[in-house]
Amino acid sequence: MRSVRKLFYRIVGIIVVPTILLVCFILYSHFSGKTLKWPWAVESENDFLPNAKIYSAKVYDSTGEEYLGERGYIKVGPTELASLTPTQYYNYYNTVLKNTDYLWFTFVCPDGTGLYIPNVEDGGACYCTIDSMGRVVHPKGFIIVEGETCYYAENNN
């Protein structure tokens, strides 16, 4: 019983808390009446996502003993990420990520930035500095998926 409770708290800490924070920010951004802008290119012919190789890594608890699941990631260059359009992101999320079992998914750039998607079921993401596990260190902005539309909101903190 104690190990089940421990596992529950670890899962809450790793997945649920960041997801709740992201959802709260999305709701705040949506109802604040601000116009949200996508900071990257509006149109691009360079769609690198269909050919991107998906990697996966096992996720363990903080002690390294208990297996929690897998995270997914792709490796992208900063110029590729900068050329990503809302349509390309939504199509990749909808066709590739939406129905996966990853605990989280990351677009990893070699400069230490990337997109962190804490809950692959809703598609919301954080453009941020990421750690070695592909999680948020310093958020720079947020991608919000509503229906079939993507928005971007800068982090003002």
Percent of the chain clearing pLDDT 70 (strictly above):
78
Per domain, the residue ranges of the chain are 2-154
Residue 126 near residue 136 (C-beta atoms within 8 A): yes
Q: Considering the entire predicted model, what is its pTM?
A: 0.68
Asked if the model's pLDDT at residue 36 lies above 80, the reply is no
Does residue 131 have a pLDDT over 60?
yes
Average pLDDT over residues 147-151: 78
pLDDT digits (tens, 9 = 90+) for 94-104: 888 888 889 99
What's the pLDDT at 141?
85
Between CA 67 and CA 76 the distance in angstroms is: 27
Give yes or no for residue 140 having a pLDDT over 90: no
Contacts of 151 (CB under 8 A, 6+ apart): 29, 36, 37, 38, 86, 143, 144
Residue 100 has phi, psi (to 5 degrees) of: -90, 170
Spatial strand order of the sheet with 136-146 comes to 55-60, 67-75, 105-108, 113-117, 125-130, 136-146, 149-154
Predicted confidence (pLDDT) at residue 55 exceeds the cutoff of 90: yes
Closest CA to 133 of 108, 151, 111: 108
**C-alpha 23, offset from chain centre:** 12
Residues 106/130, Cβ–Cβ less than 8 Å: yes
Dist CA 34 CA 99 (whole Å): 31
